[in-house]
C-alpha cells in the first residue's frame, strides 16, 4: 500500500512538472498593436479620421483603351477640354461651394469644358466647404475651410511629359535597353501639334524597338498618361510617375495575345 502511495505521489509530481513545462513553452501572446482596434492598448478613436479641408483634385480626362471608358487624372498641368474639380470629402454633412469663373456651383464635384479658352492659360478655382465638427478628434476646428488652386492649360502638346520626351528602358525584363518617344505633329507639315489646331497625329518613334516611325491617329493623352486605342495599331496605356519620372507602358498588338511591358524612365532634356 505504501508503495502504491509513493507511486501515486511520483505520478502527481510528474504531471505537475509537465504542466509547468507546457506553461513555459506557451507564453502569453503579446498585446495587439492596432490603433483602429478598440481591444488593443494603443487604440486611438481618431485614427484615420481626417479633418475635412477644402483642397481638391484638378483632373484631366483620358479615354482608357481597354474598356473605352474615361479615366480622370489629377494634375496641375492639363490638356483641357473637360476638366473635373473633385473634393476628397464627399460624405454626408459636408457642403461645397465652387467658384469657377463667373459661376457658383454647389456639388461635391464639378466638370467644366475649357476647350474654348485661349492658350496658354493659368486658371484659378476657389472651393469652400463647411462640415460638422468632431468634438473628440478636432475640437478646435471651425467647421469651415476655403482654398484657391491654380492649374495650367497647355498650348503645345509637347509641354506634356508624355510627348516629345525620350523614354529609355527595357522590354519584358530584357537586358538591352532602347529609347523611344511619342511626337505630336501636324499632319503632312511636321509642325508641332497645338491644342485647338486640327489635323495633328501622334508619331511613334522606335516604338517596340522597331527602328521605325509610325503614325497613329488613335490616341489620347494627359501630362502623365497616354493611351493608344486605334484598331490598326497597338492598344495600351503609358503611365509616368511625376515624382521619380519612372515609366511603364503595357500594350498588345492586334491579333497577338501577348502583352508587352516596357519599364524605364524619362531621360533628362
Among the listed residues 195, 161, 200, the one whose alpha carbon sits nearest the alpha carbon of residue 181: 161
Alpha-carbon distance of 208 to 191, in angstroms, equals 25
Q: What's the pLDDT at 231? A: 62
53's CB contacts (< 8 A; 6+ apart) are 89, 129, 145, 147
Displacement of CA 114 from its chain's centroid (Å)? 23
Q: Does domain 57-153 have CATH number 2.60.40?
A: yes
pLDDT < 70 positions in the chain: 1-27, 65-68, 230-232
Q: What's the pLDDT at 168? A: 98
Q: What's the pLDDT at 25? A: 58
259's CB contacts (< 8 A; 6+ apart) are 250, 251, 252
Q: What's the pLDDT at 67? A: 60
Q: What's the pLDDT at 31? A: 81
Domain ranges within the chain, ordered by starting residue: 57-153, 158-266
Q: What's the pLDDT at 21? A: 46
Strand, coil or helix: what is 65? coil
The per-residue pLDDT for range 2-14, each reduced to its tens digit, is 444 444 444 444 4
Amino acid at each position: 500500500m505504501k508503495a502504491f502511495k509513493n507511486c501515486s505521489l511520483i505520478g502527481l509530481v510528474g504531471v505537475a512538472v509537465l504542466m509547468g513545462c507546457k506553461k513555459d513553452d506557451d507564453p502569453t501572446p503579446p498585446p495587439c498593436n492596432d490603433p483602429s482596434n478598440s481591444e488593443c492598448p494603443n487604440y486611438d478613436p481618431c485614427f484615420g479620421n481626417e479633418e475635412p479641408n477644402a483642397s481638391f483634385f484638378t483632373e484631366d480626362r483620358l479615354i482608357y483603351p481597354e474598356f473605352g471608358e474615361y479615366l480622370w487624372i489629377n494634375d496641375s498641368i492639363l490638356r483641357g477640354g473637360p476638366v473635373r474639380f473633385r473634393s476628397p470629402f464627399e460624405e454626408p454633412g459636408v457642403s461645397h461651394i465652387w467658384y469657377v469663373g463667373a459661376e457658383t456651383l454647389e456639388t461635391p464635384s464639378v466638370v467644366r469644358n475649357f476647350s474654348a479658352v485661349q492658350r496658354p492659360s493659368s486658371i484659378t478655382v476657389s472651393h469652400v466647404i463647411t462640415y460638422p465638427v468632431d468634438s473628440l478628434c478636432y475640437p478646435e476646428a471651425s467647421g469651415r475651410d476655403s482654398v484657391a488652386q491654380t492649374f495650367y492649360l497647355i498650348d503645345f502638346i509637347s509641354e506634356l511629359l508624355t510627348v516629345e520626351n525620350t523614354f529609355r528602358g527595357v522590354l519584358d525584363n530584357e537586358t538591352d535597353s532602347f529609347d523611344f518617344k511619342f511626337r505630336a505633329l501636324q499632319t503632312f507639315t511636321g509642325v508641332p501639334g497645338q491644342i485647338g489646331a486640327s489635323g495633328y497625329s501622334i508619331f511613334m518613334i522606335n516604338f517596340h524597338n522597331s527602328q521605325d516611325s509610325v503614325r497613329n491617329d488613335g490616341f489620347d493623352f494627359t501630362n502623365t498618361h497616354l493611351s493608344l486605342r486605334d484598331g490598326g495599331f497597338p492598344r495600351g496605356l503609358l503611365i509616368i510617375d511625376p515624382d521619380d519620372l519612372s515609366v511603364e507602358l503595357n500594350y498588345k498588338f492586334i491579333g497577338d495575345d501577348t502583352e508587352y511591358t516596357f519599364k524605364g524612365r524619362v531621360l533628362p532634356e
